[in-house]
Chain A
């Protein structure tokens, strides 16, 4: 028999499988939606929207970035004692840190923002006596204050989780080498913890960028606030499209940067192509 000499059978022709059809329909929907949006914008295009509201949206974008930057920075500082509290053996400190984290992670950011911004009025006499009233009267400061408290709870959990994730042997080995405690922490524990914490920290920044839109509800003119204002004045849906694009670009840039950062930090773990 000449079985061995026969050529291999040709590959099965790729037909219109169900998945293929569904994929094309789904993709077609996006293409159509994109086309409709472009058409909708183009037919109503006279450049007036961007000329009138474009600079304002950019101003709003700056406010959003300002909000996110300060909230995250202050939150990062606040998260240190909370993470320490979460890991401490003291019951009072541990309980306080737990309650802090549980409250800020378990309630909506919008409710927290209202609690601070409108709730501050309930303590106006006390706040005036302390000289803090001017701070809490300003919507922008209230937003930063609330967001910072909120993100401090999340960041404390990220930090605590990452530190707990470092194997015990690392600490013991450092002790066996007679390294001082601060050297152990900064040179041995922290670098390993940061690798684990990197991804969740990136997600937290994205959450903050998205969450900061809530500030617009308490009259802060961030990107979302300017967008809502532009829409309520012009009734032009374009406003929301520009806002969507700007938010998406921010989040995508951050994601790309984070991918690069992760690649760099874990470069000793990657298999090298010989």
Chain B
């Protein structure tokens, strides 16, 4: 039977879908890693004010110390007001890279399961019943930065489409860009971000199971990482303007 002319696009779409299905094991971990990295960067970018205050306090303490001796007195001018922002951004970069090592890179080990929702429920229930710093901090931070990452990707898409399509479709570009951005944010949260949280739960659970059953250890293991990640997670929540896509 001859194939109708309208069939090839459907066939091509089907072939593309089959190819995408076969390559899920490859692109999903990359997507999780990339989304978390974008979220971590968004959070590190807005946490600058906090870092500036830390740099100011450290600079004042350093100047007070260096100014005591003639030999070290010239070091007082090492960090002037102009260098504050440079140092603060350097600290933000370092913070971001460490957070990427803790949150984004492990996403490359994501192993998709058919019963992902069930796995999420079981691990969340276990974290609730037997909380450890790892089981709470890492999934929370991952969720926060993944949400911020989704919003950042949505905003990038919106801006690119808004200004890219304006010449072609005029004032409709705004509604089109806004709709695409909202769809992208919802899609990212529904299909990618929550998988990142599942994988963070899986990793935190495996590491927590290795901790001896003592309450103090459950609190202290992973505490330095949590202290590093929690301010960033809070900054990420601040940098996730979900409602702005609806305004």
Judge: A and B partners, yes or no: no
Which residues of A does B touch, CB under 8 Å?
A: none
Which residues of B does A touch, CB under 8 Å?
A: none
